[in-house]
A and B are shown apart, each in its own frame.
Chain A
Amino acid sequence: MRLIIAITLGAALGCTSSATTRPPVEELDEGLNLIDVSDPSWGMTAAYVKDGNVVYVEQRIGAMKPQVYRDTDPDEPSNEIDMRFVDKTGQTFYVQRGGDDYVDPTWNSDINATLKSPAPVDQRIADFALAREAASALAKSLPKDFAALAYHPTTFAARPVPEEDPNLIGRIEEIESKRPADEAYYDWNGGAASWWLQGDLYDKKICYVWVCVGRHSGVAMFAYNGTWSLVVNACNHGNCPGSSKLTYRCSSNSGVWRTNVSLTGEHNGGSSVAGGCRSGYSWNSGGNNHLCNDDSAYELWQIKNGSVGDGAQYNTNGNYYSFVYTGAGTGGDGSWVNYACTCSNNNSCNNDWSRPICP
Chain B
Amino acid sequence: MTKKYAVLAGVVVIAGAIALFVWSRRDKSPGHAKGNTTSVHATGIDQADSSVSMLTMLNAPEGATPCETAFNALDAEQTAARLRKGKSMFKWVAPKQEFLAQCQQLPAETQRCMMPRYRREHDDCAAARPPDAVLHKMVIPEPVAEEKLPGEE
Listed residue (B26, B32, B43, B129) with the most chain A CB atoms within 10 angstroms of its CB:
B32
- Known contacts A71-B59, A209-B116, A283-B50; decide if A8 and B45 are in contact (CB<8 Å): no
Q: Judge whether B46 and A66 touch: CB under 8 Å.
A: yes
Chain B: minimal CB distance from A234 (Å): 14
Kindly state whether residue A17 has any CB partner on chain B within 8 Å: yes
Total number of residue pairs linking A and B with CB closer than 8 Å: 167
Classify chain B's interface size: 35 or more
Q: Judge whether A208 and B119 touch: CB under 8 Å.
A: yes
What are the residues of chain B within 8 A of A73 when measuring CB–CB? 120
Residue-wise interface mask of B (41-61) relative to A, using a CB-CB cutoff of 8 A (1 in contact, 0 not): 111111111110111011100
What are the residues of chain B within 8 A of A71 when measuring CB–CB? 54-55, 58-59
Q: Judge whether B147 and A355 touch: CB under 8 Å.
A: yes
In the complex, which of the residues B26, B120, B145, B149 contacts A72, with contact meaning CB atoms closer than 8 Å?
Answer: B120
Q: Judge whether B89 and A280 touch: CB under 8 Å.
A: no
Chain A: minimal CB distance from B84 (Å): 13
Listed residue (B31, B146, B152) with the most chain A CB atoms within 10 angstroms of its CB:
B31
Chain A: minimal CB distance from B39 (Å): 4
Kindly state whether residue B1 has any CB partner on chain A within 8 Å: no
Q: Interface residues of A, CB < 8 Å — how many? A: 62
User: Considering the chains assembled together, what is the distance between the CA atoms of A282 and B44 in angstroms?
Assistant: 4
In the complex, which of the residues B29, B42, B74, B126 contacts A66, with contact meaning CB atoms closer than 8 Å?
Answer: B42
Listed residue (A61, A63, A80) with the most chain B CB atoms within 10 angstroms of its CB:
A63
User: Considering the chains assembled together, what is the distance between the CA atoms of A67 and B146 in angstroms?
Assistant: 23
User: Considering the chains assembled together, what is the distance between the CA atoms of A249 and B149 in angstroms?
Assistant: 10
Question: In the complex, which residues 43-86 of chain B have their Cβ closer than 8 Å to any Cβ of chain A?
Answer: 43-51, 53-55, 57-59, 70, 73-74
In the complex, which of the residues B29, B135, B149 contacts A39, with contact meaning CB atoms closer than 8 Å?
Answer: B29
Q: Judge whether B90 and A11 touch: CB under 8 Å.
A: no
Q: Judge whether A65 and B58 touch: CB under 8 Å.
A: no
Residue-wise interface mask of A (59-89) relative to B, using a CB-CB cutoff of 8 A (1 in contact, 0 not): 0111111111101110000011000000000
User: Considering the chains assembled together, what is the distance between the CA atoms of A100 and B131 in angstroms?
Assistant: 41
Q: Judge whether A64 and B39 touch: CB under 8 Å.
A: yes
Q: Judge whether B46 and A67 touch: CB under 8 Å.
A: yes
In the complex, which of the residues A18, A42, A268 contacts B41, with contact meaning CB atoms closer than 8 Å?
Answer: A268
Chain B: minimal CB distance from A344 (Å): 15
Q: A18-B33, A62-B36 are in contact. List 15 more A-B contacts (CB 8 A).
A: A6-B30, A7-B30, A15-B31, A16-B33, A17-B30, A17-B31, A62-B35, A63-B39, A63-B41, A66-B43, A68-B45, A69-B45, A208-B89, A209-B89, A281-B42
